[in-house]
């Protein structure tokens, strides 16, 4: 089942010093358009496979293709 997190959260870009921040309100948007939590506790992945999350973490294959965002409930 595919869930579009944009229907639940409002996202705002997060300034980064080159490293990807993480936390309960931080999400990663891949250039393919999918969004995955930076601390995903359920299995989640973007369409192109650059982001793969689960068990409280996410693996990022190419950080240059990822934009960190802060999510707030609508």
Residue 56 CB coordination number (10 Å): 12
Alpha helices in 1-74 (DSSP H): none
Identify any residues that bridge with 29 across adjacent strands, giving them in sequence order.
Answer: 35, 67
Are residues 74 and 4 in contact, defined by beta-carbon separation less than 8 angstroms? no
Q: Is the pLDDT of residue 18 over 90?
A: no
CA 20/CA 22 separation, integer angstroms: 7
Q: Is the pLDDT of residue 1 over 70?
A: no
Q: Compute the radius of gyration of the chain from its Cα atoms.
A: 11
pLDDT of residue 17: 84
**Domain of residue 63, residue span:** 5-73
Domain count, the chain: 1
Q: What is the pLDDT of residues 20-66, one digit of tens each?
A: 999 999 999 999 999 999 999 999 999 999 999 999 999 999 999 99
């Amino acid at each position: 089942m595919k869930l579009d997190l944009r229907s639940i959260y409002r996202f705002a870009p997060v300034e980064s010093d080159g490293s990807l921040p993480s936390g309960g309100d931080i999400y990663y948007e891949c250039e393919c358009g999918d969004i995955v939590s930076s601390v995903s506790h359920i299995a989640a992945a973007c369409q192109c496979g650059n982001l793969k999350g689960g068990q409280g973490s996410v693996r990022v294959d190419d950080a240059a293709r990822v934009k960190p965002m802060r999510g707030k409930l609508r």
